[in-house]
Amino acid sequence: MTDSSPLVLKTQPIPGVCLLTLNRPEARNALSDALRKALSQAVALAGEEPDLRVIVITGEGESFAAGADLKEIASDDPVAIRRRRVLSLWQQIASCPLPIIAAVRGHALGGGCELALHADIIVAADDAVFGQPEVRVGVMPGGGATQRLIRAIGKYRAMKLVLTGEPITGEQAAQWGLASESLASEKVLERALELAAHIAKLPPLAVQSAKEAMLAGADAALATGLLLERRMFEGLFATDDQKEGMAAFAEKRAPNFKGQ
């Protein structure tokens, strides 16, 4: 990659699907400040495009993202670290209304693993490497792993990853619930795009409402989550897509969803 190359490549390989590719292959897509900002901005902009339905994030070359760029932060003090605004940049991804699919090949370590944890679906290579090795360099995860891992895979597996710094494979990640599925590395992006294409054909308001209800309800009391789900379910009966979907089902034809 040359200095003029974009840090995040944006393409639209399938109608309704935005593919964002981290583009620092010479550094195994290590998450520099500039790369984080570029990705955050790309996701935020994609979320506002009316014709987009799904975002797929992957890495150029042999890695998804091999963690933070330690060369940038090794000499920082607490104030300098705070000014990097990592959590606010990640929040742009966490709050994106569109479903996000992470296509993970190679290394997803530290911040790279945390980035994957911000996705709604993770398609991993069998031989991908997931881990939180921060303790090995004298710190701890700082981009959400201590909270998101416990919610994804439970206390004891999360503690093992964070406290030992030992990695696991993509196959094991799928067994633990850290990935949605795992398969051969050369098929990962194809599978992620296949899933994205399938979701992109579904009614976008229903898809986005389901995502919002699941994420908001996960941190709420069960009764609160169920009430939120019911209200959003009821609200979808005001959409044209609900009328079209149920009419198409009754008439045994393919629906034509328009996001209205």
Average pLDDT in the chain: 94
Domain with CATH 3.90.226.10 in the chain: 8-200
Question: Residues 137-158: pLDDT tens digits?
Answer: 999 999 999 999 999 999 999 9
pLDDT at 32 over 80: yes
Question: Residues 39-95: pLDDT tens digits?
Answer: 999 999 999 999 999 999 999 999 999 988 888 888 888 898 788 888 888 888 999
pLDDT at 96 over 90: yes
Question: 8-200 maps to which CATH number?
Answer: 3.90.226.10
Distance separating alpha carbons of residues 51 and 17, to the nearest angstrom: 9
Average pLDDT over residues 250-259: 92
Question: Residues 217-254: pLDDT tens digits?
Answer: 998 999 999 999 999 999 999 999 999 999 999 999 99
Contact, 125 vs 190, CB < 8 A? no
Q: Residue 2 — very low, low, confident or very high, per pLDDT cuts 50/70/90?
A: very low
pLDDT at 3 over 60: no
Residue-by-residue DSSP string for 66-113: -SB-HHHHTT--HHHHHHT-HHHHHHHHHT-SS-EEEEE-SEEETHHH
Please give the radius of gyration of the chain, using alpha carbons only, rounded to the nearest integer: 19
Chain-centroid distance, C-alpha 19: 12
Contact, 7 vs 23, CB < 8 A? yes
Domain with CATH 1.10.12 in the chain: 204-251
Count other Cβ atoms within 10 Å, centred on residue 254: 8
Active site residues: 68, 111, 114, 134
Fold held by 204-251: Lyase 2-enoyl-coa Hydratase; Chain  A, domain 2 (1.10.12)
